[in-house]
Structure 1
């Protein structure tokens, strides 16, 4: 067989331990599954830091780096992962690391981040013009500090091996356990769906959450203090999902002109009224499907989609799966 594919993960002071150990365990479990099938291991796991040795994580315990990244040839790395954590800010100012990442990017087959590790990639200039996500609590920081990055603030990861835009080469994932979903997607791309599903079963996980799965529903319900001009309307919308929620109807309810309402929505929520209403309806449908207490037709009616086909289109557009598949995975 070919040489083992090296999966390298960065370690630095106050890293989030699960950002590092979670994805690495997925690759290790893939090796285990292959061995159960009489096949040789596929991955070699490597932990890199500024200097080899033990480093304290944000949890207080230590993890051990085997090599210094500065003395590692990126051409020998297949996949390089950058985790997040409390120490991420210092690494965003670590000029030697950022320069090494910039030099490594064209040499490694895949370069990705977990959680707030996206801020490190962005600081290295590697996300400019790219679609990227991160932990929901760090989205605004990423958007403010790196306006040239296209923010995908409501998905688990941006990895897509079929994407001609390059999201199979450089990609990001959302908060903490989303790194495990990302690692499963990488394993599936490398070894096929059966191995990825076997790993998920061994780890007692969802078989596979799609990358477009929303990471945190509270993104749809901003605090009133953040949207003072829209507070009353945002509280009214979820109670009237089956009503006419067109722009003119919303403008009448808000006592604004349609043009003014559209401008205020974009200013305060970063999206237009139509998109916001669709996301609220989608979130409501997700909640109903997770409770497994209503048919898909009833869910469509209660969440304001009116017909199951409208619900299906919205699910495929935003989540990449059908309502039926969502119900089977998450109910």
Structure 2
């Protein structure tokens, strides 16, 4: 008989509601699937707040914490999850909470975070010497903790075997990656068939392809003002299938190639070649998502030429092939 596992998730003012409800629903659905199979539930879920009572989420509605985190018996918990939210700086400076997490770490079997919750674990020193990830927009902030090995494109760092992650203290990336993490925890607890059954019931991938880069517009938004390059940046998307070499761009901008490279670095933080590759990739993504052309045609229209060049660029930036991307985000099957 499976042991009863108590799963607790922290809640605090302006918490991201899906960081809490997404993972907890996975565990609840595992209970439902077990009941369908004539088996008893094995997860007991707890929501912990600063105090017992309603906790306002970043979505505006409240979740109700059953008790204060200070009051729970840590030894009774199997897994403790720390979600992200809008007030992470304040949470990272809450010495009482950080002390409590340090006390929790050796007493719970598993301690994990969702999204920017990794910043709290890092502030408590619990990620020192460990691999960690977080929401793509918080990767830089997490990287300020020099003792943490940050891998920004991971969906989560949980590995029950400890080969490519940690079975005890682990993190997950942006928002819905907490659901990926919870499915991995269910698989470790109850086996792959049960995790597949939960994923199927919730219409999810058990393991979705690629990392969070494929969902985050290449992680780096472009600056809104590029005065010396404005005309050229407007011209590039209209000429993706043509010659966009450094020399061609410099001629169009009426600048010397070296001056153009320097200006790109100053105004965009990236060289002309990488910028063009990014714009071509974004255009290819759009075409594949909208099911407007075959992969071969997309490669030609966006300046990659051969589908193999497109495939290499997709793997480089998104960790999936164009075919996999089209199947996940587009409508029909492509050539």
TM-score by length of 2: 0.77
2:157 pairs, out of 156, 159, 162, with 159
Q: Deviations 1:25-69 (Å, cap 9, x if unpaired)?
A: 111112212322334434332222333343333344432333443
Aligned residue in 1 for 2:288? 289
Q: Distance in 1 between matches of 2:166 and 2:230?
A: 37
Q: Distance in 2 between matches of 1:133 and 1:270?
A: 23
Cα distance, 1:124–1:249 mapped onto 2, change above 3 Å: farther
Q: Distance in 2 between matches of 1:163 and 1:242?
A: 46
Aligned residue in 1 for 2:199? 200
Unaligned runs of 5+ in 2: 331-335
Aligned residue in 1 for 2:333? none
Q: Distance in 2 between matches of 1:190 and 1:251?
A: 58
Report the CA distance between 1:71 and its aligned residue: 4.2
Aligned length: 325
More moved, 246-255 vs 17-26: 246-255
Q: How does 1:122-141 map to 2 (within 5 A)?
A: 122-127=122-127, 130-134=131-135, 136=137, 138=138
Report if the CA contact (8 A) 2:132-2:151 is conserved.
Answer: yes
SS at match of 1:47: strand
Report the CA distance between 1:80 and its aligned residue: 2.4
Q: Deviations 1:95-150 (Å, cap 9, x if unpaired)?
A: 111122234345545433323323323332344574423264x556x268657766
Unaligned runs of 5+ in 1: none
Q: How does 1:67-216 map to 2 (within 5 A)?
A: 67-72=67-72, 74=74, 76-105=76-105, 107-127=107-127, 130-134=131-135, 136=137, 138=138, 142=141, 155=153, 157-159=155-157, 161=159, 164=163, 166=165, 169-174=169-174, 176-205=175-204, 209-210=208-209, 212-213=211-212, 214-216=214-216
Rg larger in structure: 2
Q: Distance in 2 between matches of 1:263 and 1:103?
A: 51
Aligned residue in 1 for 2:224? 224
SS at match of 1:45: strand
Report if the CA contact (8 A) 1:197-1:208 is conserved.
Answer: no
Report if the CA contact (8 A) 1:156-1:181 is conserved.
Answer: no
Q: Distance in 2 between matches of 1:260 and 1:315?
A: 26
Cα distance, 1:166–1:260 mapped onto 2, change above 3 Å: farther
More moved, 275-284 vs 143-152: 143-152
